A = this chain, B = another copy of it.
């Protein structure tokens, strides 16, 4: 257990903050609720961003940039939207030394400014679909904030697409939800449930919101990404119509979808341990650190040369760093790179080398293996993939072990805090029952998973007919 990190078992919330502080990922800014993302944390976000950006482009999207300032009147054009976002807005009232005629809202999300702009871009069915993404900062004035998970300003991407039919918009919504699920599972090694949110949990202005939901190590749920089918709501609010192939004018169909720096928080909470960060290899800025070890000064040059040779050998196969610093002992370096979550450590020491081998140490399990010097180039990429799979499997097993199918409300209430986890409960579909559970337990319906089988039952609250189980949990 690393010093200065509270063990998870003692206080999960302090553990999370300690990992972020000790691994120098982020810190609180002088403005309440804002954060500074430090280089170690930002490097993880860059890996996330580059991977997602590639996935968005492979699915036909292009990037653009819309202004951060939105006239206050725009926000008010979509009725649900203004109701949902009004309490959270930051407002610029003065600029250039004078009071502005109309206050400007700092974007909490960009549907309004974007649909105002799309009005001029869309005339005919030939202009559709319009598949645009934006990487940007947004601001939501939250009362309770936590580094990465919920901050006043955060970084995110927001896709905003326009389509000629309701069906196409629906397909796009699901396509991007699937992109998020693939990213979460294959890159973050974080298993997710996916499906629609209930009406009471949907995005302000959406017809239907879908989410991916993951389980953290304290068995709470974390919503990791959302994809919204906006129907014609924003097209109507901003009067965006197109002429179809038959010459008929119709309002455009829309989607929006986003993930944010919250994913860095999810990554920390999903895999890390009492020694610090554990990163899945596919999102690790440094995948492999090589530490040359010397007892006598005259060994230093040789060990460092071997470390350097291995680094060169691995280039293209893994991102590698050699830590040949003089002022720190090997043990100190091991702890530092463990803290920072580097998936593989390679130890290059005189004894191993005399035997023609080096030592590889996995960050996730701490398991050591010695491999012949000449096998390193082949072994490291394989070991990275083994670690990637092992992290996913561990998280999946953990989620399964902490998922419960219950049919009795009193039993559920007695369990929801301890042990906690995901509760698959029959539900009649009524908002009243949903609200009742939230009031009684603070648990919410995370989503109605696509892969929940049809299963006739009785709503756990009112006893009414239930067709499928919904997944309840306490959430971040």
A153 interface contact, C-beta 8 A = yes
Bound: A177/B69 CA distance, A: 32
Q: B94 near A65 (CB under 8 angstroms)? A: no
B95, B139, B141: the one within 8 Å of A91 (CB): B95
Bound: A74/B31 CA distance, A: 11
Bound: A93/B89 CA distance, A: 11
A383 interface contact, C-beta 8 A = no
Of A35-43, A213-221, A408-416, A444-452, the one touching chain B: A35-43
A68 interface contact, C-beta 8 A = yes
Bound: A358/B123 CA distance, A: 37
Q: A137 near B68 (CB under 8 angstroms)? A: yes
A92 interface contact, C-beta 8 A = yes
Q: B94 near A93 (CB under 8 angstroms)? A: yes
Q: A93 near B93 (CB under 8 angstroms)? A: yes
A51 interface contact, C-beta 8 A = no
Q: A97 near B92 (CB under 8 angstroms)? A: no
A96 interface contact, C-beta 8 A = yes
How many whole Å from A143's CB to the nearest CB in chain B? Answer: 7
Q: For A39, list chain B residues within 8 Å (CB).
A: 62-64, 132
Q: For A331, list chain B residues within 8 Å (CB).
A: none
Bound: A63/B39 CA distance, A: 6
Q: A46 near B63 (CB under 8 angstroms)? A: yes
B69, B126, B132: the one within 8 Å of A31 (CB): B69
A386 interface contact, C-beta 8 A = no
Bound: A91/B37 CA distance, A: 23
Q: A94 near B95 (CB under 8 angstroms)? A: no
Q: B94 near A91 (CB under 8 angstroms)? A: yes
Bound: A35/B35 CA distance, A: 27
Chain B residue at smallest Cβ distance from A26: B65
Q: A66 near B137 (CB under 8 angstroms)? A: no
A29 interface contact, C-beta 8 A = yes
Q: Which of A36, A46, A87, A97 has the most CB of B within 10 A?
A: A36
A200 interface contact, C-beta 8 A = no
Q: A113 near B30 (CB under 8 angstroms)? A: yes
How many whole Å from A327's CB to the nearest CB in chain B? Answer: 8
A116 interface contact, C-beta 8 A = yes
Give chain A interface residues in 106-157, CB to chain B under 8 Å. Answer: 106, 113, 116-117, 120, 126, 132, 136-137, 139, 141, 143, 152-153, 155
Q: For A96, list chain B residues within 8 Å (CB).
A: 87-90, 141, 143
A330 interface contact, C-beta 8 A = no
Bound: A31/B70 CA distance, A: 7
Annotate A23-35 by CB proximity to B: 1 below 8 A, 0 otherwise: 0000101110011
Q: For A106, list chain B residues within 8 Å (CB).
A: 92, 106
Bound: A43/B53 CA distance, A: 12
Q: Which of A31, A34, A113, A155 has the most CB of B within 10 A?
A: A31
A71 interface contact, C-beta 8 A = yes
A67 interface contact, C-beta 8 A = yes
How many whole Å from A265's CB to the nearest CB in chain B? Answer: 15
A104 interface contact, C-beta 8 A = yes
Q: For A86, list chain B residues within 8 Å (CB).
A: 97
Q: A30 near B92 (CB under 8 angstroms)? A: no
Bound: A306/B68 CA distance, A: 45
Q: A141 near B95 (CB under 8 angstroms)? A: yes
B43, B62, B67, B141: the one within 8 Å of A153 (CB): B67
Bound: A91/B64 CA distance, A: 26
- With A45-B65, A67-B153, A95-B141 already in contact, 8 other A-B pairs whose C-beta atoms are closer than 8 Å: A29-B117, A31-B70, A35-B67, A37-B64, A43-B62, A43-B63, A68-B139, A106-B106
Give 12 A-B contacts (CB < 8 Å), ordered by A residue. A27-B120, A29-B66, A30-B71, A38-B64, A42-B63, A67-B153, A68-B139, A69-B139, A86-B97, A89-B97, A90-B92, A91-B93
